[in-house]
Amino acid sequence: MKADRLVSLLLLLQSAPRRTARDLAERLEVSERTIYRDVDALAVSGIPIYTERGPEGGIALAEGYRKALMHFGEDEVRAIFISGSAILRDLGLGANMDRALEKLRGGFSEMQQRAAEKARGRVHVDQRRWNQSDPPVEQLTLIRRAVWDDRRLDLAYEDRAGTATTRVVDPYGLVSKAGVWYLIARTAEGFRTFRVDRIRDATERGDRFERDPSFELEAHWRESAASIRNAIERFTVTLRVSPEAFESINGYWPTERVDPNDPSVLRVHFASERAAIGHLVLWDDAVELLDPLALREPVAAHARRLLERYGESGATR
């Protein structure tokens, strides 16, 4: 596409004081005549570009304009090129991101290009939890386009209890939290949050909706997340955790270190007392319950019930 080529041409010109038409034609795989036509197009659009004749001549940008891109420091370059674009790939934009970075890198100086390569090769961001399934990319792409174009959607949704509903929604925005995608949408009952992996079907309608100009996605999500956190019951226990279980417990549940001199003692926050009991039985001798001691009997009782159901005596029923 011509627009893509013009951006690539502009970035190449920003990376050097001047380039010949032959050099640019070879890099962009077009004819020199096409390069001169593109130079005219850039000049008409207001880009300060000019050509110089002679052995030292070529095509160049005005010095002040050319230096704008070169003002990226190494840390700024690293911030752009750190590897890991799972969020964009979820939304169907991964290939576009790759192309954009390649275009940007083409306009960098040699020092900036080395910084970009280092960043991509030394830091990778993976926001998925272990054993977390991949999101429905095709569905996310459709929803992302509807969000972008302010188009209403017909949603078939199934909540955590398995209750199925259908409704018409105005898709306002998408939020990714720990690799899980949520759709923030306006419904007849007001704004609601839908987990994208629970959307059984999404169909774009022909009509558009008008956004509330006062709506701010980040502020709405922050308020919703705070409400959810406050509504969740918290039950806290103190455990002595064996080394083999430390990573799985500390990586999944909210924890605090109790004694700075003894990293094996953790305060673990569960959603409920029932959840705490179930996990303490599951973790078996990998943990020791230190507090509250009153919880030891419910844990033992739960283990006895499991033994009765699944032990040798229960298996012969």
pLDDT in tens, 162-177: 899 999 999 999 999 8
Domain chopping of the chain, boundaries: 2-122, 137-230, 235-312
Q: What angle do CA 170, 175, 181 make, to 5 degrees?
A: 95
Distances (CA, A) of 236 to 256, 273, 274, 277, 300: 10, 8, 11, 11, 18
CATH number of 235-312: 3.30.70
Task: Report how far Cα 130 is from the mean position of its chain's Cα atoms.
Answer: 16
Closest Cα partner for 281 from 272, 289, 270, 271? 289
292 and 237 Cβ atoms separated by less than 8 Å: yes
Q: How many other C-beta atoms are found inside a 10 Å radius of the C-beta of residue 113?
A: 16
Q: Is the pLDDT of residue 92 over 90?
A: no
pLDDT at position 293: 95
pLDDT at position 317: 47
Alpha-carbon gap, residue 207 to 274, rounded angstroms: 47
Q: How many other C-beta atoms are found inside a 10 Å radius of the C-beta of residue 24?
A: 22
What is the domain class of 137-230 according to CATH?
mainly beta
Distances (CA, A) of 169 to 140, 145, 155, 199: 15, 14, 7, 12
pLDDT in tens, 203-224: 999 899 999 999 999 999 999 8
What mean pLDDT do residues 279-305 have? 94
Give the three-state DSSP class for 134.
coil
Closest Cα partner for 80 from 113, 126, 129, 109? 113
Kindly state the helix (H) or strand (E) to which residue 169 belongs, with its residue range. Answer: strand 164-177
pLDDT at position 69: 55
Answer positive or negative: Cα dihedral of 23, 24, 27, 30. Answer: negative
Q: What is the pTM of this model?
A: 0.61
Alpha-carbon gap, residue 112 to 120, rounded angstroms: 13
pLDDT band at 95 (very low <50, low <70, confident <90, very high): confident
CATH number of 2-122: 1.10.10
Radius of gyration of the chain (CA): 29
64 and 55 Cβ atoms separated by less than 8 Å: no
Alpha helices in the chain (DSSP H): 2-14, 21-28, 32-44, 63-70, 74-81, 86-90, 94-106, 110-122, 137-149, 217-231, 243-252, 273-283, 296-310, 312-315
DSSP 268: E
155 and 167 Cβ atoms separated by less than 8 Å: yes
Q: Could you identify the residue written with the tokens 């701010």?
A: 216
Share of the chain above pLDDT 90, in %: 42
Alpha-carbon gap, residue 170 to 202, rounded angstroms: 12
pLDDT at position 248: 81
Closest Cα partner for 239 from 221, 256, 252? 256
Q: Is the pLDDT of residue 1 over 60?
A: no
Contacts of 150 (CB under 8 A, 6+ apart): 170, 208, 209, 210, 211
